[in-house]
Amino acid sequence: METATSNRSKGVLWTSYILQGAVILMFAMGAINNLVGTEMAVQGAIGMGYPESLCFI
């Protein structure tokens, strides 16, 4: 019985790992910006309609 990954090349697997890592890194950077409360994150939240009292400052 073959698995789904047995017929894929190592290059395809590594490409998917790298792309997944890039997406996770971008989400993590966004979360850190929001938690730290950078000016850009606060202005973006205010621009989307959130009150400034909900932004971490």
Q: What is the pLDDT of residues 3-44, one digit of tens each?
A: 655 678 999 999 999 999 999 999 999 889 888 878 888 888
Query: Given this model, what pLDDT does residue 4 score?
Result: 59
In degrees and rounded to multiples of 5, residue 5 shows phi and psi of -90, -5
Query: Given this model, what pLDDT does residue 1 score?
Result: 46
Whether pTM exceeds 0.85: no
End-to-end CA distance of the chain: 56
Domain count, the chain: 1
Q: Which domain holds residue 44?
A: 24-57
> 2 to each of 12, 37, 48, 52, how far by Cα in Å?
17, 49, 49, 55
Instruction: Give the count of alpha carbons within 13 A of 5, CB side only.
Output: 6
Query: Given this model, what pLDDT does residue 47 score?
Result: 93
